[in-house]
Structure 1
Amino acid sequence: MTLTRLQHDDQLDWWRGAVIYQVYPRSFQDTDGDGIGDLQGVIDRLDYIASLNVDAIWLSPFFTSPMKDFGYDVSDYRGVDPMFGTLEDFDRLVEAAHARGLKVTIDQVLSHSSDQHPWFAESRSSRDNPKADWYVWADPRPDGAPPTNWQAIFGGSAWQWDTRRCQYYLHNFLVEQPDLNFRNPEVVEAILGEVRFWLERGVDGFRLDAVNFCTHGELKDNPPREEIAEGFIGVRPDNPYGYQQHIYDKTQPENLFFLERLRALLDEYPGTTSVGEVGDDDSLGVMAAYTQGGNRLHMAYSFNLLTDNADPRHLLETLEEMEARIGDGWPCWALGNHDITRLATRWGAEGHAARLRLYLAFLLTQRGSVCLYQGEELGLTEAELAFEQLVDPAGITFWPSYKGRDGCRSPMPWQADAPHGGFSRATPWLPVPDDHRGLAVDRQDGDPDSLLNATRDFLAFRRRHPALVKGEIRYHPLRDEVMCLERYHRGERLLVALNFSETPRELGAPRDVRALDDAPAMVNGTWQTGRFQLPPWGIAIAHCPDNSQPGHAIWHP
């Protein structure tokens, strides 16, 4: 049982409790007929996004890039890649989103650049040029081997030999993604300048990719890992990256100083925000450290809920641990994104509307902000692709034990009967699965019982109840696979019960609980004096007078 108190400014802290809809531009809407989504496509679909009742969008990278990692290898931090459009298109997108009440956050890949970035071209040209120390370079060991045993997430050594300098450079991801040297003050200033460029263009925030990779530690070998467990995308039995404890190659204390510099910059632009992606053995601890104190990140999210484990005991333990550790920090939760197997497939809910509604309610009743990945509102499943259809370098490297990230990046199905699901008039960069057509937006839009409309209704309901957006939280012990929690804020106290079982459940509730008149249809639990009754995968939310002192338990299921 936990209790957290937070003070906030409602006007500037719009992000606290916000629902951020992640748009993967390559797969959202193609308007120029090249089979790849673009910024104009996002503009054309802003009315749809606004109809979901979300608060903001997060745009995955659209920057100039060789696309070795589909935009996460940036060669110009201030440019829009021509396949997506122009800077003018981006400016129009921001203006159009703001006109619809949507904030705009963009991906920033700060820990590394593309090897095609002019900074790296200069850095690798010699050992004594002005940018020689802008990336992480090191001499070989006496036998010519890499400086350390560090492994790259996408396979092989994290060190690449460069014949120009006769040194190794560090790359935690692809060989084409060299790591910047954040121990160099000039690099920090340059990166902050790139962030300021987008702030001046009116963006409201940044999603910071792999933000705990910005600094490295001493050049020492990482010790072996005793047990390989699923976690960040590289931690798998088929990947040598998962064989190490990552003591020296990431998540260094010095990273906090950079985050403080970044926060100081954002504070120059009131109302802007940051959410960091954290992948680490102790991701919850890093989330807490990176968001505490009010002078680092505004919020952070990890891969702790992005695993295959949907057991309510595991979920509850994760959430309670986060609450116990985060203090005045703020979490952001996600059940899916562009790196992880689609939720419906990963948690065994393909074609199971009740389970998908339960998982949606679970996500949207937690304390914290939320990232909702495009297509989750439709219940999209993981696309099954043959090896020859893969384009993700991770999937190609680790096939067949790991099929990569293409399966969760397939295009949005807009029209069931249109070519390529209405995504493009040309053959798309990834195919649209046939089974996604039945889940298309036009099929669900007019169906009041669809997951799409359930999502809209629940998000509208959530907005009407500040306790669900910014309220404090209290968890109760799991009972018969039912997760019970309270949310309360400024006199509103809500009780939530979530049945993670295919069996009906009944549990006790305070006698003065009353049903919510505005609860959407997916809140299908019923209340009779002193009892909640929950159907399989059922959801109950009720109001209870807030007549007790904070921290006083009023619910004994």
Structure 2
Amino acid sequence: MSTAPMPILDAAEPWWKGAVIYQIYPRSFADANGDGVGDLPGIAARLEHVAGLGVDAIWVSPFFTSPMRDFGYDVADFCGVDPVFGTIADFDALVEKAHGLGLKVMIDQVYSHSSDQHPWFAESRSSRDNPRADWYVWADPKPDGSPPSNWQSVFGGPAWQWDARRGQYYLHNFLPEQPDLNLHNPEVQEAILGVARFWLERGVDGFRIDALNFAMHDPLLRDNPPLPQTNRPRSRPFDFQDKIHNQSHPDIPRFIERLAAEMRRHGAVFSMAEVGGDHWAREMALYTQGDSRLDSAYGFNFLYAERLTPGLVVDALSVWPDAPGHGWPSWAFENHDAPRAISRWVAPNHAEAFARMKMLLLLTLRGNAILYQGEELGLGQVDIPFDRLVDPEAIANWPMTLSRDGVRTPMPWVADAQDRGFGSVDPWLPHGAEHGALAVDRQEADATSLLRWTRRLIALRRDEPALRAGSIRIVEAGEALLVFEREHPAGDTLRCVFNLSDRAQDFDAGNGELRIATGDHDGGVLGAYAALVTRI
């Protein structure tokens, strides 16, 4: 079997439009040196599996030098590789191998904050008049000694940390060990653009930009207003505020334009922002507006949703009109920050059928599809006991949330091996007890497995211009049934029909030719979690 992806059908479109992107969480993908933590050589050793799916690109989560308080998203050297993951030579080798397999390489970029162990911060906190004194967000206390504003951090508690060295507070929207950079400062912007250039010159093909709407703050330090009461649970003080002053600053698009210009000077490089928060729809549209900003963005529409419904899909699609001047969407049902979709959206007795339907839905939506490692195997969320938790968010909010640790467990490669083929018997997080039966080797040997199904669907997406880059029109979106049509001038019109419920539904697929189907679909009745695509 060839592992190189097929050529893009429309050479006029950029490589990333309609791409399938495979996210790799390095700590948990494959361990080449047996120390319990996955690494860059481990990724390279298992890259044929990813290329064999037929995806267009890999997105590698942070591997930068870090004290690992937030497992790589607290960066101590933006241009360095942490020794636990390997060396810069290992990264170069990974890029070379990926390109040889026909895969583009995307990496994370963290621009809103650094680690408190970064040399920039060490200098900034040393005095109020050093050359980098204004590279982070510092503020005097209120007269009573309390923090400068009411802003709250994502991980719980105030977003301000007192620092006795300067006699001031510094801003941290995440952990206290993750101080916020001051991107209002032109010198900081230049330094960050230098980081981007460093990786672009090493051959990366795209960036996933972390927490972009946190990149700038309100210099007036105005208090955030309260959010109106909703039905959503509130487990953190952060959830009670409308975060209009510690994120979402109107100058962020100007920085985005500088970053996008730098990327485009290096050719067909793809830019994709992570945008969460209460104003995600407006910000995703703003950050991808026109031709001078980012190519795409993805949010948390699906990642934190308790149910997969037709209404959820329609609402998500409505943010991305197919019109000039609007960006191109990217979709993820799972990632390293959200519990496995199988565990959120369906009862265990329907998991197998649901996984097949869910994969078909993801790969037929208009936009890019992001697969998180193990999603092609149907992995479920692992219940990590409290004494094994390492994720600071999970520890702080236990037992209120399904922890991020439970989605970051090691990838199962070999069902009957003691280490599941990961490379170490005692990895940094425990293996999922039920994941052995879903291992790659076992699914490769089963023609009906989810892994083999995923490969078929990605091939279908490449064969059909309508699925890769066509328009989308909602035909029906009821309580359970979702029907939409994909159309492209270079191809046929496809009708996609999904039953998102555990009960059979009447449906009309028209008189078209069946292209692919999963589940029962006879006699005008679509079975529980069944779906099909027809050419009309």
Distance 2:53 2:337 in 1: 23
- Give the match for residue 252 of structure 1: 249
Deviation at 1:403, TM superposition (A): 4.6
| SS class of match (1:116) | coil
Asked if 1:388 is matched to 2:380, the reply is no
In structure 2, how many angstroms separate the alpha carbons of the residues matched to 1:487 and 1:493? 6
Would you say 1:219 and 2:221 are equivalent positions? yes
Q: Distance in 2 between matches of 1:108 and 1:68?
A: 17
> Contact 2:322–2:471 (CA<8 Å) still a contact in 1?
no
What CA deviation, in whole Å up to 9, does each residue of 1:216-275 have, x standing for no partner? 113011111122555xxxxx5121110111110101110000100000001101110111
The answer to whether the 8 Å contact 1:349/1:356 transfers is: no
Whole-Å separation in 2 of the counterparts to 1:371 and 1:480 = 26
Name 1:410's counterpart in structure 2. Answer: 409
Distance 2:499 2:273 in 1: 31
- Aligned equivalent of 1:303: 300
How high is the TM-score relative to the length of structure 1? 0.91
For 2:6, the equivalent position in structure 1 comes to none
Residue 434 (structure 1) shift:
1.6
Stretches of 4+ moved more than 6 A in 1? none
Contact 2:519 2:527 (C-alpha < 8 Å) held by counterparts: no
Give the distance between the partners of 1:363 and 1:33, measured in 2 at CA. 35
CA distance in 1, matches of 2:122, 2:396: 26
Number of residue pairs the alignment of both structures matches? 524
What secondary structure is seen at the aligned counterpart in 2 of 1:421?
A: coil
Which residue does 1:538 correspond to in 2? 530
Q: Relative to structure 1, is the Cα distance of residues 12 and 269 closer, same or farther in structure 2, using a 3 angstrom cutoff?
A: farther
Query: Distance between the aligned counterparts of 1:405 and 1:347, measured in 2?
Result: 17
Q: Which residue identity is paired with 2:160?
A: W
Structure 2 residue 17 is matched with structure 1 residue 16: yes
Judge conservation of contact 2:285–2:320 (CA < 8 Å) in 1.
no
- Counterpart position of 1:499: 499
Aligned to 2:3: none
Contact 2:320 2:326 in 1 (8 A): no
- 2: CA distance between counterparts of 1:315 and 1:85? 41
Match of 2:420, SS? helix
Does the 8 Å CA contact 2:302/2:333 hold for their aligned counterparts? yes
What do you get for the CA RMSD once the two structures are aligned?
A: 1.8
What is the match of residue 334 of structure 1?
332
Contact 1:472 1:489 (C-alpha < 8 Å) held by counterparts:
yes
| Cα displacement string for residues 375-412 of structure 1 (whole angstroms, at most 9, x for unaligned residues) | 11111111111110000011111112225310000000
Q: Cα deviations across residues 9-41 of structure 1 (Å, max 9, x unaligned)?
A: 845611111011000000000010100000001
1:242 partner amino acid: D
Tell me if the contact between 1:474 and 1:485 (Cα under 8 Å) persists in the aligned partners: yes
> Which residue type is aligned with residue 187 of structure 1?
V
Relative to structure 1, the CA distance from residue 292 to residue 332 in structure 2 (aligned partners, 3 Å threshold; closer, same or farther) is: same
Question: Structure 1 stretch 104-113 or stretch 279-288: which is displaced more?
Answer: 279-288
Of stretches 343-352 and 200-209 in structure 1, the one that deviates more from structure 2 is 343-352
Distance 1:311 1:543 in 2: 25
Query: Normalised by the size of structure 2, how large is the TM-score?
Result: 0.94
- Residue equivalent to 1:240: 237
Cα distance in 2 between the residues matched to 1:293 and 1:253: 16
Distance 2:470 2:205 in 1: 23
Give the distance between the partners of 1:16 and 1:238, measured in 2 at CA. Answer: 37
Partner of 1:498: helix, strand, or coil? Answer: strand
User: Which amino acid in the other structure matches residue 508 of structure 2?
Assistant: G
The whole-number CA distance in structure 1 between the counterparts of 2:275 and 2:317 is: 18
CA spacing shift, 1:116–1:335, aligned 2, 3 Å:
same
- What is the distance in 1 between the residues matched to 2:253 and 2:348? 41
**Shift in alpha-carbon separation, 1:229–1:337, aligned structure 2, 3 A:** farther
* Per-residue CA distance 1:82-116 (angstroms, 9 max, x = gap): 00000100001001000111000001111000011
Counterparts in 2 of 1:87-126, with a 5 A limit? 87-126=88-127
Q: Match of 2:4? A: none
**8 Å CA contact retained: 1:285, 1:325:** no
Q: Which runs of 5+ in 2 are unaligned?
A: 1-8
State the match for 1:368 in structure 2: 367
Q: Does 1:271 align with 2:268?
A: yes
Aligned residue in 2 for 1:3: none
Question: In the TM superposition, what are the counterparts of 1:318-333 in structure 2 within 5 Å?
Answer: 318-324=315-321, 328-333=326-331
Determine the C-alpha separation between the residues in 2 that align with 1:151 and 1:377: 37
Equivalence map 1:89-488=2 (5 Å): 89-217=90-218, 218-228=220-230, 230=232, 236-324=233-321, 328-350=326-348, 352-479=351-478, 481-488=480-487
Identity %: 52
Partners of 2:95 and 2:347 in 1: how far apart?
A: 35
